[in-house]
């Protein structure tokens, strides 16, 4: 299963979701089965490392943060991943604009698996990385539960 987490800049929410899901998959012994990556819809932060707020919140929760560099999602990524997961409705709109068609139903929002589907606020604007972390954790936990049920 290959998953790409997607947000606007690929420095705050999507690298956070990438590292949280990787960590949960490792704890569940599923690192070999679940590959997680991340990408941006925009070109704003191409080449940049994760935001210090993302790094700080991951460290505070004992989650390893790798040396990801922001990159933009491409149309070819549609064939490379099984799931393309945005953080909010704007991300979904932009993902669909990039991949153009979603015949295999790969495009979802991270909180689609939650009992309370909703957007994940962008901490670039809110400054609240803890609230974003709680939402990302809920999304990754419910997604992983679903993947395990279907495995």
Q: 15, 71 in Cβ contact below 8 A?
A: no
Angstrom distance (rounded) from CA 18 to CA 137: 11
Strands (E), 57-122: 83-86, 107-109
Cβ proximity to ligand 4NP: between 123 and 147 the closer is 123
Which residues carry out catalysis? Answer: 7, 13, 122
Q: Across the beta sheet with 2-7, what order do the strands follow?
A: 35-40, 2-7, 83-86, 107-109
Residue in 122, 133, 136, 143 binding ligand 4NP, rule: CB under 6 A: 122
Q: How many residues interact with ligand 4NP (rule CB under 6 A)? A: 11
Interface with ligand 4NP, residue 139, by CB under 6 A: no
Cβ proximity to ligand 4NP: between 45 and 142 the closer is 45
State the minimum distance, in angstroms, from the CB of residue 47 to ligand 4NP. Answer: 12
Interface residues toward ligand 4NP, by CB under 6 A: 7-13, 44-45, 122, 124
């Amino acid at each position: 299963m290959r998953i790409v987490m997607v947000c606007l800049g690929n420095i705050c929410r999507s690298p956070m979701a990438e590292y949280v899901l990787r960590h949960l998959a490792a704890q569940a012994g599923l690192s070999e089965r679940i590959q997680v990556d991340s990408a941006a819809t925009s070109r704003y932060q191409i080449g940049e490392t994760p935001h210090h707020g993302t790094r700080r919140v991951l460290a505070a929760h004992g989650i390893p943060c790798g040396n990801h560099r922001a990159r933009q999602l491409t149309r070819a990524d549609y064939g490379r991943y099984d799931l393309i997961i945005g953080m909010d409705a704007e991300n979904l709109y932009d993902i669909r604009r990039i991949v153009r068609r979603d015949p295999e139903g790969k495009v979802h929002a991270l909180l689609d698996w939650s009992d309370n589907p909703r957007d994940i606020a962008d901490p670039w604007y809110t400054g609240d990385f803890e609230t974003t972390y709680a939402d990302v954790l809920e999304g990754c936990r419910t997604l992983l539960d679903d993947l395990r049920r279907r495995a």
